């Protein structure tokens, strides 16, 4: 099992308000990864995303045990996200310029042949395997609701004026609801976690081609960043790639 990560401020933002982390942990052959996209002005967005990542991981370190069941991992993910939300919410009350700050979050705990994915907001998880690419997570956004109701098509959503409005985030409220997904993760499969700075610019088939054609994960993420930058990189760009290469050990690279 191997993992790689990349982040970049892009061409139009003054500050990178994305945060991410990934590491080997606890159970044998296991990797945890988390990606956040902050919001809330010059001070709030960066703080919200970094605080969410650190609180999520700190909580997971306290709870993770060898040989956890899928149900236990799912419950652990939910609690880690609840704690991250509480940390951001409480910090937002400390200063006036932190009011309303928040962050999206997408995370994955991967062990051997299964991944448990969780998300809040519109940062996404994709599974890439023998049958192509599949979006695992569902966006919590205004345009996602409009697509579901038939008001607009997915293609129209890419340029809709409300495409950046999300309906769930960590931080604005004391309690948060996350979604979780259990994903089979066979040898040769990859899991891509990324912010909307990636998905707002690159299409799903381009993500598939980039991950499949690259020599390794580091090269794939470099090509993905190059693609987004070639189209102006209007937002921060962050992605983590996890690959089940069949190796006995775990390598969190970078």
Within 10 Å of residue 98's Cβ, how many Cβ atoms? 18
pLDDT tens, the chain, 254 aa long? 899 999 999 998 889 999 999 998 765 578 999 999 999 766 699 999 999 999 999 999 999 988 889 999 999 999 999 999 999 999 999 998 898 899 999 999 998 799 999 999 999 999 999 999 999 999 998 888 888 888 888 888 878 877 778 899 999 999 999 999 999 999 999 999 999 999 999 999 999 999 998 989 999 999 999 999 999 999 999 999 999 987 655 555 54
pLDDT at 215: 86
- Please provide the CATH number assigned to the domain covering 2-138+168-252: 3.60.40.10
pTM: 0.93
pLDDT at 27: 59
Q: Are 105 and 54 in contact (CB under 8 A)?
A: no
pLDDT at 254: 45
Ordered by start, the domain boundaries in the chain are 2-138+168-252
pLDDT at 112: 79
Three-state DSSP string of the chain: CEEEEEEECCCCCCCCCEEEEEEECCCCCEEEEEEEEEECHHHHHHHHHHHHHHHHHHHHHHHCCCCCCHHHHHHHHHHHHHHHHHHHHHHHCCCHHHCCCEECEEEEEEECCEEEEEEECCCEEEEEECCEEEECCCCCEHHHHHHHCCCCCHHHHCCCCCCCCECCCECCCCCCCCEEEEEECCCCCEEEEECHHHHCCCCHHHHHHHHHHCCCHHHHHHHHHHHHHHCCCCCCEEEEEEECCCCCCCEECC
């Amino acid at each position: 099992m191997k993992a790689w990560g990349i982040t970049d401020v892009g061409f139009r933002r003054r500050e990178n308000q994305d945060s991410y982390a990934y590491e080997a942990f606890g159970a044998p052959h296991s990797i945890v990864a988390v990606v956040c996209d902050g919001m809330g002005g010059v001070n709030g967005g960066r703080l919200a995303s970094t605080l969410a990542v650190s609180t999520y991981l700190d909580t997971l370190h306290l709870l993770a045990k060898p040989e956890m069941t899928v149900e236990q991992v799912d419950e652990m993910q939910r609690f880690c996200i609840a704690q991250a939300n509480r940390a951001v919410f409480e910090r937002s009350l400390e200063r006036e310029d932190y009011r309303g700050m928040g962050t999206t979050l997408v995370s994955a705990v991967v062990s051997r042949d299964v991944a448990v994915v969780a998300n809040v907001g519109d940062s996404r998880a994709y599974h890439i395997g023998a049958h192509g690419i599949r979006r695992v997570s569902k966006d919590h956004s205004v345009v996602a609701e409009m697509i579901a109701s038939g008001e607009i098509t997915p293609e129209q959503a890419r340029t809709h004026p409300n495409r950046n409005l999300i309906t769930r985030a960590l931080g604005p409220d004391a309690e948060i609801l996350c979604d979780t997904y259990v994903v089979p993760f066979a040898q040769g499969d990859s899991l891509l976690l990324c912010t909307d700075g990636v998905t707002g610019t690159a299409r799903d088939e381009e993500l598939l081609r980039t991950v499949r054609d690259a020599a390794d994960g580091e090269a794939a993420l470099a090509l993905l960043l190059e693609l987004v930058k070639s189209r102006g990189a209007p937002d921060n760009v962050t992605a983590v790639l996890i690959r089940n290469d069949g190796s006995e050990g775990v390598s969190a690279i970078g």
